[in-house]
């Protein structure tokens, strides 16, 4: 885990990771979030929707992105971090997604260095499930 | 079928406050959902996105989006967080409808949420944009 961010520079990539979104993970996320919408949990219901099958919560994919940010910036992501994302495509149970991030700017604001990153989570075909931007104070 | 609130709510409509205190068992479920070998150690704190997700669930229910026939797409999400939150720490969420329009038969709604601790201090904000289709008009 990185704890000293003084070496950060524009162009650096964040350390992403892969995660298989199993139905067990989706079920656990429903318990964690309280979101028991049948489109995530009930195959019979989900087969009648535009997706034709169950989909993972979009917030589950975003949670993976924030895991990456928390690992990269353990002392500051939860203490001044911001993000803005769009959900571009559904993730289906069984798919392996990959988080990613790149530092695009480091600016000083009120005496504090702020890192700006592109962030996201890609589906197996390379399309974005989630994509956007985060800013994090440098500790 | 009852008319969902999203059909009638005007900008400025307030939601909550919701008690989005996250107990240990839900933090454990979160770790099971997202966890892996490279996961960060949160100690006795939470991933803030958990608190946002808990509020979002309440908002979706109050907006009537679990009503039969509606199809909701979570289109966008903003989050900012000011400090770590402990497992079991009391957090209240208050939502406000920031935008609500209809285009080509689809509702586009944005709800802003403020998260406050037991002292009333704001510890985070979020903004959720959803698209709802399938509503009878």
Low-confidence ranges of chain B (pLDDT < 50): 137
User: For B4-28, what is each residue's pLDDT tens digit?
Assistant: 787 788 899 999 999 999 999 999 9
Domain residues of chain B, as ranges? 5-133
User: For A89-106, what is each residue's pLDDT tens digit?
Assistant: 999 999 999 999 999 999
- Report which of residues B43 and A36 the model is more confident about: A36
What pLDDT, on the 0 to 100 scale, is given for residue B73?
87
In the predicted model, is pLDDT for residue A2 greater than 70?
A: no
Q: Which of A25, A32, A49, A100 to mutate to test the interface with B (most CBs of B within 10 A)?
A: A32
Residue B37 CB contacts under 8 Å (≥ 6 apart), including other chains: none
Choose the closest CB to B47 out of A70, A80, A87. A70
* Chain B residues with at least one Cβ partner in A under 8 Å: 25-27, 29-30, 32-34, 36, 38-42, 45, 47-50, 52-54, 56-58, 60, 66, 71, 73-85
In the predicted model, is pLDDT for residue A80 greater than 90?
A: yes
Q: Could A79 and B81 be called an inter-chain contact, meaning their C-beta atoms sit closer than 8 Å? A: yes
- Report which of residues B101 and A61 the model is more confident about: A61
Choose the closest CB to A81 out of B39, B73, B81. B81
In the predicted model, is pLDDT for residue A124 greater than 90?
A: yes
CA distance B66 to B62: 9
The C-alpha angle A94, A95, A98, rounded to 5 degrees, equals 140
* Cβ-based contacts of A15 with chain B (< 8 Å): 38
**In the structure, what pLDDT confidence band is assigned to residue A120 with cuts at 50, 70 and 90?**
very high
Average pLDDT, chain A: 93
CA distance B117 to B91: 5
Topology (CATH level 3) of domain B5-133: Thiol Ester Dehydrase; Chain A (3.10.129)
Q: Could A35 and B56 be called an inter-chain contact, meaning their C-beta atoms sit closer than 8 Å? A: yes
Q: Could B33 and A15 be called an inter-chain contact, meaning their C-beta atoms sit closer than 8 Å? A: no
What pLDDT, on the 0 to 100 scale, is given for residue A50?
86
What pLDDT, on the 0 to 100 scale, is given for residue B30?
95
ipTM field: 0.92
Entry pTM: 0.93
Give the sheet arrangement for strand A128-137, strand by strand: A18-20, A96-109, A112-122, A128-137, A82-87, B71-81, B122-133, B106-116, B92-103, B14-19
Q: Contact at 8 Å (CB) between A85 and A130? A: yes
Q: Could B49 and A63 be called an inter-chain contact, meaning their C-beta atoms sit closer than 8 Å? A: yes
């Amino acid at each position: 885990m990185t704890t000293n961010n003084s070496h950060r520079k524009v162009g650096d990539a964040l350390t992403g990771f892969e995660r298989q979104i199993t139905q067990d993970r989706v079920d656990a996320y429903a318990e964690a979030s309280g979101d028991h919408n049948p489109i995530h949990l009930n195959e019979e219901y989900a087969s009648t929707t535009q997706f034709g099958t169950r989909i993972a919560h979009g917030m589950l994919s975003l949670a993976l992105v924030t895991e990456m940010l928390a690992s990269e910036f353990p002392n500051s992501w939860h203490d001044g971090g911001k993000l803005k994302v769009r959900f571009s495509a559904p993730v289906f149970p069984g798919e392996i997604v990959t988080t990613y991030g790149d530092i695009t700017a480091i600016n000083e604001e009120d005496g504090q260095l702020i890192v700006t990153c592109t962030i996201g989570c890609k589906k197996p075909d390379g399309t974005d499930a989630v994509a956007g931007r985060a800013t994090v104070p440098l500790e | 079928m009852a008319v969902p609130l999203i059909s009638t709510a005007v900008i400025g409509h307030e939601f909550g406050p919701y008690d989005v205190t996250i107990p240990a068992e839900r933090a454990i479920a979160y770790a099971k959902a997202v966890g892996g070998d490279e996961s960060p150690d949160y100690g006795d704190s939470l991933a803030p996105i958990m608190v946002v997700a808990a509020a979002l669930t309440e908002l979706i229910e109050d907006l009537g989006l679990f009503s039969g026939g509606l199809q909701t797409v979570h289109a966008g999400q903003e989050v900012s967080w000011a400090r770590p939150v402990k497992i079991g720490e009391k957090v209240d969420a208050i939502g406000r409808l920031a935008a609500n329009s209809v285009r080509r038969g689809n509702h586009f709604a944005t709800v802003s949420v403020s998260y406050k601790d037991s002292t009333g201090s704001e510890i985070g904000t979020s903004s959720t944009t959803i698209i709802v289709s399938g509503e009878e008009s």
